[in-house]
């Protein structure tokens, strides 16, 4: 029976990048002690604050946080999906919402720029398009002989993206998120399970919890991991920082794919 131990981090990140980063490093050390092979942080894990602070946060992450995490990833033989962080883009005060993968087994860090930007009225109007530019390229990276796809939060609503990741051979998708409480209560579990069932993949979905200092919206928590049959194999509560540990049963995935012949 072949299994991969994975960890998903639930956080309540704020606008203090140094404080957030200290928390991130603590989770890295904790997951290493528990022998995780893959560690995934939530969306906006480095900075969850007003637009005015994005440029400074992007510089901190680029110059300090990512080099430090890359070192820790190599030290612990750990693949780290570093949630998401602002990355400077062409144009005045424009950024990408970018998720980085460190120590994926490739020759350099892998990154994914969020394609589907969040625009919605939850308990208030939120529009990422005013700050961020959409990415254009899907990302699948190697991990322990498997292939892992990348997505971010609002991407969850676009099944065509997950079909493209599946076409590229994804066995699992990591999806750092900051899903709101209103939409989360209605749609979070249903959509995550649907993507697992549709493409017979594991979904690893860490989420933020608590009130967002950037939008004022309440985040849903309930970080989850689902298997290719659509079963929730790990779930965090609505509140509280959590290191969610579970194992991906690759033999189960083979059984599911034999049972439903989609590949």
Strand partners, 246: 6
Contact 2, 251 (CB under 8 A): yes
How far is it, in rounded angstroms, from Cα 90 to Cα 97? 13
Q: How confident is the model at residue 262 (pLDDT cuts 50, 70, 90)?
A: low
Phi-psi region of 153 (alpha: psi -120 to 50; beta: other; left: phi over 0): left
State the DSSP string of 63-129.
Answer: IIIHHHHHHHHHHTT-EEE---EEEE-SSTT-EEEEEEEES-SSSS-EEEE-SS--EEESSSEEEGG
DSSP, res 202: E
The pLDDT mean for the chain works out to 93
pLDDT in tens, 63-81: 999 999 999 999 999 999 9
Q: For 182-218, how does the pLDDT look when each residue is reduced to its tens digit (9 = 90+)? A: 999 999 999 999 999 999 999 999 999 999 887 788 9
Q: What is the tens place of the pLDDT at every residue in 147-190? A: 999 999 999 999 999 999 999 999 999 999 999 999 999 999 99
Contact of 57 with 85, CB cutoff 8 Å: yes
Tokens of 148: 């892992």
Which of 45-49, 138-142, 178-182, 211-215 has the lowest average pLDDT? 211-215
Distance spanning both ends of the chain, measured CA to CA: 22
Q: How much is the pLDDT for 107?
A: 54
* Topology annotation, domain 3-259: Nitrilase/N-carbamoyl-D-aminoacid amidohydrolase (3.60.110)
State yes or no: pLDDT of 261 exceeds 80: no
d(CA 88, CA 193): 33
The DSSP-derived string for 3-51 is EEEEEEEEB---S-HHHHHHHHHHHHHHHHHTT-SEEEPPTTSS--S-G
Query: Whose CA is closest to 23, among 3, 46, 43, 53?
Result: 46
Read off the pLDDT of residues 212-248 as tens digits, 9 standing for 90 and up.
Answer: 887 788 999 999 999 999 999 999 999 999 999 999 9
Beta strands (DSSP E) in 183-223 are 202-205, 209-211, 218-220
Query: What residue ranges do the domains of the chain occupy?
Result: 3-259
pLDDT at 126 over 80: no
**Cα–Cα distances in angstroms (integers) from residue 128 to residues 51, 122, 185, 246, in the given order:** 10, 13, 21, 32
**Separation between Cα atoms, residue 124 and residue 36, nearest integer Å:** 38
| Residue 122: pLDDT over 80 | no
Q: How far apart are CA 251 and CA 107, in angstroms?
A: 28
Report CA dihedral (48, 54, 57, 62) to the nearest 10 degrees.
120
């Amino acid at each position: 029976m072949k299994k991969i131990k994975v960890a998903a981090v639930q956080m309540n990140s704020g606008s203090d990048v140094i404080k957030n980063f200290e928390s991130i490093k603590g989770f890295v050390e904790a997951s290493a002690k528990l022998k995780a092979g893959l560690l995934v942080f939530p969306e906006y894990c480095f900075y969850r604050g007003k637009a005015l602070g994005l440029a400074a946060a992007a510089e901190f992450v680029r110059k300090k946080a990512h080099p430090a995490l890359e070192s820790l990833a190599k030290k612990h033989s750990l693949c780290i999906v570093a949630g998401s962080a602002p990355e400077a883009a062409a144009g005045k005060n424009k950024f990408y919402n970018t998720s980085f993968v460190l120590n994926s087994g490739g020759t350099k860090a892998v990154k994914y720029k969020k394609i589907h930007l969040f625009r919605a009225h939850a308990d208030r109007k939120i529009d990422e398009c005013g700050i961020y530019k959409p990415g254009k390229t899907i990302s699948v990276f190697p991990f322990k002989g498997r292939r892992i796809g990348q997505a971010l939060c609002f991407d969850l609503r676009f099944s065509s993206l997950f079909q493209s990741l599946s076409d590229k051979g994804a066995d699992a998708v990591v999806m750092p998120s900051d899903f709101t409480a209103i939409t989360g209560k209605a749609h979070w579990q249903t959509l995550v399970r649907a993507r697992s069932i549709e493409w017979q993949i594991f979904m690893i979905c860490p989420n933020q919890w608590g009130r967002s200092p950037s939008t004022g919206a309440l985040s849903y928590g309930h970080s989850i991991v689902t298997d290719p049959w659509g079963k929730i194999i790990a779930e965090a509560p609505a509140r509280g920082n959590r290191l969610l540990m579970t194992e991906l049963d690759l033999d189960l995935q083979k059984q599911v794919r034999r049972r439903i012949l989609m590949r």
